[in-house]
Amino acid sequence: MSRTILVTGGAGFIGSNFVLQRVAAGDRILNLDKLTYAGNPGNLAALKDNPGYVFVHGGIEDEALLTRLFAQHKPDAVVNFAAESHVDRSIVSPEEFITTNVVGTFRLLHAALAYYRGLDAAAQARFRIHHVSTDEVYGSLGPDDAAFTESKAYEPNSPYSASKASSDHLVRAYQHTYGMPTLTTNCSNNYGPYQFPEKLIPLVILNALNGRPLPIYGDGMNVRDWLYVGDHCDAIALVLEKGVVGETYNIGGDSEMANLDVVRTICSIMDELHPAGAPHTQLITYVKDRPGHDRRYAVDTARIKRELGWRPRESFASGIRRTVEWYLGNPAWVAEVTSGEYRKWISTNYETRG
């Protein structure tokens, strides 16, 4: 059945992949996005004349706007992607993380609750608010520790993960206290088309393409679990449809890798697709570590597999190849996002690392 979904942050990386997927599946999407440096309406240019897609420019912290949108569009569900999402930026300027991730999520919950209370019983039974979160809220693992399960205590270590943890707690409290039909997912590191090249994978692809240093923080042995963005979007759609209200679901790719191995894999694909720069590993450069850098994340995905039957479709090997091909095949998108503000960030973050 076709639904109307209020998506927040739908012009960002994961949000735009989700919007494209859901419009193709027949849902109507109302996309509320503040268009920060990370938001790019060009990601959704293909939907310009699509009657199933409406864009609204604004922030989730604007409760009056939210109230108006709920009244006017009467969504069946909300999926909250809107966030400040980059750990290094949260170290340099944490305030925006509190404004959007904490205060913004609170205002969204508050406006959604008022709307929910005004619905008739059938619409209430259908309504869901799905909060998209991260595995980083669980803290950092040692090399032999068990992967994060949904019952792992929260131990956030960066201003980013602390702000996401706060938002997760607010979602939990709104369900527990007011009976809001919430769902929360905690996913590992995503990669794929439309990711802003401040994050490791697109940064390394584009630096390799341009013969620039590939910056490795610390010893390069920090471990992340990687999931192709399309698989994350499938998981969110499935949880939205079949997840148990009030529950949280971990999502991950069963693909733990040290950063250095991720970078070497990209280099070998680049050697093949862009032989002029080979061997790209010669660009690997060790730089000053991130303060408080979490050593390892690993996600136990048994619950979503067992209860909802989700499985990732891409392996890291297939997903990373598709991703490199996408960045090499979309030079206009790359040129647009790497102008202006992007250059400022690259000099702020890397010139001081030496």
Catalytic residues: 135-136, 160
In the complex with ligand TYD, which residue's Cβ is closer, 199 or 280? 199
* 9 binds ligand NAD, rule: CB under 6 A: yes
Kindly report the number of other CB atoms within 10 A of residue 64's CB atom. 10
Helical ranges in the chain per DSSP H: 13-24, 63-73, 87-92, 95-97, 105-117, 121-126, 159-178, 200-209, 229-242, 259-273, 302-308, 316-329, 331-337, 341-350
Strand partners, 148: 299
CA distance 308 to 326: 30
Using the rule CB under 6 A, which residue among 44, 60, 129, 237 binds ligand NAD? Answer: 60
104-115 burial, b at 16+ Cβ within 10 Å, e below that, comes to bbbbbbbbbbeb
Among ligand TYD, ligand NAD, none, partner that 23 touches (CB below 5 to 8 angstroms by kind): none
User: Could you tell me the smallest distance in angstroms from the CB atom of residue 132 to ligand TYD?
Assistant: 14
Give dist(CA 163, CA 94) in Å, integer.
9
Among residues 33, 234, 254, 294, which is the contact residue for ligand NAD, using CB under 6 A? Answer: 33
CA end-to-end span of the chain: 54
| Partners of 248 in beta bridges | 184
Q: Which stretch binds ligand NAD (CB under 6 A): 7-15, 46-54, 202-210, 296-304?
A: 7-15
Total number of residues that touch ligand NAD (CB under 6 A): 31
Q: Which one, 30 or 283, has the nearer CB to ligand NAD?
A: 30
When asked if residue 201 is in the footprint of ligand NAD (CB under 6 A), the reply is: no
Question: Is the Cβ of residue 201 or residue 235 nearer to ligand TYD in the bound state?
Answer: 201
Binding site for ligand NAD (CB under 6 A): 8-9, 11-15, 32-36, 38-39, 59-61, 81-83, 85, 100, 104, 132-134, 164, 187, 189-190, 196
